[in-house]
Amino acid sequence: MTHWSQKQISLPAYERGFHLITSEVVRAVPELASYRIGMLQVFIMHTSASLTINENADPDVRVDMETAANLIAPESMPFIHTCEGPDDMPAHVKSSMFGCQLQIPIRDGSLALGTWQGIYLCEHRNRGGSRRLTLTVQGELA
């Protein structure tokens, strides 16, 4: 029988950049341990921040990800939507590129991430503030 669980969490404000939040997500859903098999959906409720999965060991990867994202959507582009500051429209572009949700398999009570994979919060604003995530777990209990 399939079992569902859902909750919303708030992350603290992070500075602009790419931040590992795997431990915060796992801490927020202790019921993961009860699932034999399933799926965790992580959804960010914002349009100027995003989520991705990438390297969780070398912090240089997070710096390089921010550098690459800024080259793809620089603040110097002649955007029309500028009323919320020069970092706002590039943040929307980056958010659409990386995406607002992740689907992560659950296997034997844990997230089935690869050895070097972690969940990133991609903060694209200079002062984005607290970010809200909706976490939905679905699967078969052990």
| Average pLDDT for 83-89 | 95
Helices 59-72, 88-98: inter-axial angle, 10-degree rounding: 110
CATH placement of domain 2-75+84-141: 2.60.120.460
**Rounded distance, CA 110 to CA 20, Å?**
17
**pLDDT band of 13, cuts 50, 70, 90:** very high
Please check whether residue 42 is in contact with residue 102, taking contact to mean a CB–CB distance below 8 angstroms. yes
Residue 18 class from Cβ within 10 Å (0-12 exposed, 13-18 middle, 19+ buried)? buried
Q: How high is the pLDDT of residue 106?
A: 98
Per-residue pLDDT of 38-49, as tens digits, reads 999 999 999 999
Percent of the chain whose pLDDT exceeds 90: 99
What is the structure's pLDDT at 18?
Answer: 98
